[in-house]
Structure 1
Amino acid sequence: MSSKDDLTATRLRELPAVDRVLTLLGPLPGAAEAVRCELSQARAALLAGAEQAPSAERLAQAARSRLLAAGAAAYPPVVNASGVVLHTGLGRAPLAASAAAALAAADRYALVELDPADGQRRHREHAVVEQLQELTGAEAATVLNNNASALLLLLHAVADGRPVIVSRGELIEIGGGFRLPDLLRLSGCPLIEVGTTNRTYVADFAERLTWETGLVLAMHTSNYRVQGFTHAPELSELCELAHTSAVPLAFDTGSGLLLPPDPAWGLADEPDARTALAAGADLVCFSGDKLLGGPQAGVLLGRAELVARCRRHPLFRALRPDRLTLSALAATLELHRSAPSDVPVLAALARSAGERRQAAMALSRALRVAVPGASFEVVDSEGSVGSGSAPARPLPSAAVRVVVEGLPAEQLATRLRNGDPSVFSRVWRGQVQFDVAALRPDDEARLVQALTAALA
């Protein structure tokens, strides 16, 4: 036998036993077969000239990835260490435990549109309507599948092809190239722009109001701020003007605050539905999966006659949500009534900068103990609320900076994103950071697991 063959045989003997890899992998369905496949590939690679046998940890990670590819969830959970609390790419608001339980319970037949008292049909959103009325003081409410749907429906049902007046400074574009002027064109309503980008007055609206006007539309510029030499009319002023002319006013608040925000959340500039209705808005619409902290949905509430008109419109059936959305939304609204601090988004925003730093220090200690192959340092960071909420307000946070000798940050971040669990970190100035702003209570252990696997 040649020296080369001796070397290959030595490397083959270095391959870990199946049982050792299985111990690291855990009792997963199909685990043994996945490990054998990975070992077979490793033997083939060594026979072909590979210079090093993979470790048991690396083989366990490869087997786990194989199992995930074969039968994983289409949308697997991730650890959000990016510092963005409402990360659109990661599904926006994480659901509360009670909302997740409501989703699980909705896998069976459910009382959606039937009243058990008499067996007759009723509105499918009946339960959440009562909750929304109580929380916001609205006369009536309904739910659509997202906020763009709510806005599209009210334009069709209320403006009904007649001119809609909007401030030029509120002609927003949101993610994916969605633009308000395009939506107005889709509804068939002529757009009447008033004012300028930075300064608009009530008088600008008054000059364009006529007997033909179908709607005055106010939009919260949730994903940008114009600062400096600016002016915008108060909502109450616009409502008074619109009502004097018998024209309804709709206000898209965007981010989904139901009530005036707690000062600890740092959302003083974000409008809320209750205050908007009290100021005189006839209709208010907003997203369910942002600051409300629920599933994707569009909430539409306000005057009973106008909400009823929207529900009667043929578009309503095309835009209504299913029982899963309504179940999760009802559970989330119940938390807003009884325990708002249990809504994960609000809990994350309520943490002080000091509490975030303490969390980062605890995470750093756990990583140092479990992952000796890297160095860790707690640093100040700047997170954000995300998804177009509070764009001008940075979120004072803290992060754990991770440095692995010989492993570039981008390569480490890629491994983390593609691991199990998947971790979305921040790469800042050539270094990986785990920002704690959006971390859930169980994420510390998952980060330790993910980084250990990434460095195996």
Structure 2
Amino acid sequence: RRGRSALAALRARVPAAGDAHVVNNGAAALVLAATALAAGKEIVVSRGEMVEIGDGFRLPDLLVSTGARLREVGTTNRTTAADYAAVIGPETGFVLKVHPSNFRVTGFTRAAQAGELASLGVPVVVDIGSGLLAPHPGLPEEPDAETQLRAGAALVTASGDKLLGGPQCGLLLGDGDLVRALARHPLARALRVDKLTLAALEATLTGPPTPTAHALTADPVALRARADRLAAELGAHGIDARAVGSTATVGGGGAPGVGLPSAALSLPEPYAAALRTGRTPVVGRLEAGRCLLDLRSVPPADDDRLAGAVRAVRTSDDQAARKERA
């Protein structure tokens, strides 16, 4: 019952999907698709989309492990629909589009889109990676499941965490008959998720906005006002705290190269280590010799806790400043 309600919630968020299935992570979603559709056959993929993600994990190695053969087309920076069409044949299992979710290639580039490939006569599988289910106004270049399916993709695979902000799991969305066939494949049982993951996914889809959603939509003006207030409060305690503008990075396998206007609390550099090891650990970033605590990643309700964590640590810079004032 929990699985059915989570899948219903997923279909409701992606109306273009005829059906949905959930496995234990994004790589597993792609493994299931490749095993069921292309074992002993070819997967046609652009050379510019043969990506490596974290911890040395390489997509080509994953695909070959399923028994499929890779048919690479195009070049690193330019691949057209004609490149795919030239190699489609009886041995083709499917065409794979992979979103390079942790890097960008700029300049003289070209990438065929799902809509261009949908007429080639074979299934088009799009691995969007980040788990964005529908277009997001703040991330106009990030592919989403709804748009890819409406463009003609037979199947979309994605992660349930990252931009969706849910638990670690893998999502398969697309043609109803195709998704149901994947769900009945023997490998699907080995990749299934537990009830807690399904419950967390359902809560993510039907509940209030996730922390990820809040961070993506935070108002830069409101962020600066919070930074000003915190800097003034900490300054009153003799701490060299400043409110500064900053650029937040989406990260986490989504929206590579996209910066979001933000505001940060700027502290002397020694605070970086002191805060990481404090009673309430706080992780900032170092920039131009200062420790920045970007408030886009801090819920407003935690501002007082953040200020308390800063007050609770003392650095050599603070001590020197106090002696100078004395």
Same fold (TM over 0.5): yes
Task: Tell me by how many angstroms 1:440 deviates.
Answer: 1.4
Q: 2:267 aligns with which of 402, 412, 415?
A: 402
CA contact 1:158–1:309 (8 Å) conserved in 2: no
Q: Which residue matches 1:424?
A: 283
Q: 2:216 aligns with which of 341, 344, 349?
A: 349
Q: Which residue matches 1:160?
A: 39
Cα deviation code 1:310-369 (max 9, x no counterpart): 22222212211111111111011114xxx6xx2221221112322221221122233234
SS of equivalent to 1:165: strand
CA contact 2:243–2:263 (8 Å) conserved in 1: yes
TM-score (norm 2): 0.92
CA contact 1:158–1:306 (8 Å) conserved in 2: no
Task: Tell me by how many angstroms 1:232 deviates.
Answer: 1.2
Count matched residues. 314
Q: Give the distance between the partners of 1:391 and 1:295, measured in 2 at CA.
A: 21
CA contact 2:264–2:294 (8 Å) conserved in 1: yes
Residue 254 of structure 2 aligns with an amino acid whose one-letter code is S
Q: Structure 1, unaligned stretches of length 5 or more?
A: 1-110, 113-124, 404-408
Counterpart check, 1:291 vs 2:163: yes
Task: Tell me by how many angstroms 1:450 deviates.
Answer: 1.5
SS of equivalent to 1:259: coil
Residue 85 of structure 2 aligns with an amino acid whose one-letter code is A
Task: Report which structure shows greater RCO (CA 8 Å, sep ≥6).
Answer: 1
CA contact 1:373–1:455 (8 Å) conserved in 2: no
Q: Give the distance between the partners of 1:236 and 1:427, measured in 2 at CA.
A: 43
TM-score (norm 1): 0.66
Q: Which residue matches 2:298?
A: 439
1:15-54 maps to which residues of 2 (within 5 A)?
Answer: none
Query: Cα RMSD over matched residues?
Result: 1.6
Q: Structure 2, unaligned stretches of length 5 or more?
A: 316-326
Q: 1:455 aligns with which of 314, 319, 323?
A: 314
Q: Which residue matches 1:230?
A: 109
Q: 2:62 aligns with which of 152, 163, 183?
A: 183
SS of equivalent to 2:265: strand
Task: Tell me by how many angstroms 1:289 deviates.
Answer: 0.9
CA contact 2:249–2:257 (8 Å) conserved in 1: no
Q: Give the distance between the partners of 1:333 and 1:249, measured in 2 at CA.
A: 26
Residue 233 of structure 2 aligns with an amino acid whose one-letter code is A
Q: 2:27 aligns with which of 122, 132, 148?
A: 148
Residue 440 of structure 1 aligns with an amino acid whose one-letter code is P
Counterpart check, 1:376 vs 2:226: no
Q: Give the distance between the partners of 2:69 and 2:84, measured in 1 at CA.
A: 15
**Runs of 4+ residues deviating >6 angstroms:** none
Cα deviation code 1:73-128 (max 9, x no counterpart): xxxxxxxxxxxxxxxxxxxxxxxxxxxxxxxxxxxxxx64xxxxxxxxxxxx2111
Q: Which residue matches 1:260?
A: 135
Q: Which has the higher strand share?
A: 2
Q: Give the distance between the partners of 2:223 and 2:238, measured in 1 at CA.
A: 25
CA contact 2:114–2:124 (8 Å) conserved in 1: no
Q: Give the distance between the partners of 1:366 and 1:453, measured in 2 at CA.
A: 14
Q: 1:250 aligns with which of 120, 125, 145?
A: 125
SS of equivalent to 2:298: coil
Q: Give the distance between the partners of 1:178 and 1:148, measured in 2 at CA.
A: 10
1:33-432 maps to which residues of 2 (within 5 A)?
Answer: 112=2, 125-137=3-15, 138-241=17-120, 244=121, 247-261=122-136, 263=137, 266-335=138-207, 342-369=209-236, 372-403=237-268, 409-410=269-270, 412-432=271-291
Task: Tell me by how many angstroms 1:180 deviates.
Answer: 0.9
Task: Tell me by how many angstroms 1:442 deviates.
Answer: 2.5
Q: Give the distance between the partners of 2:6 and 2:37, measured in 1 at CA.
A: 23
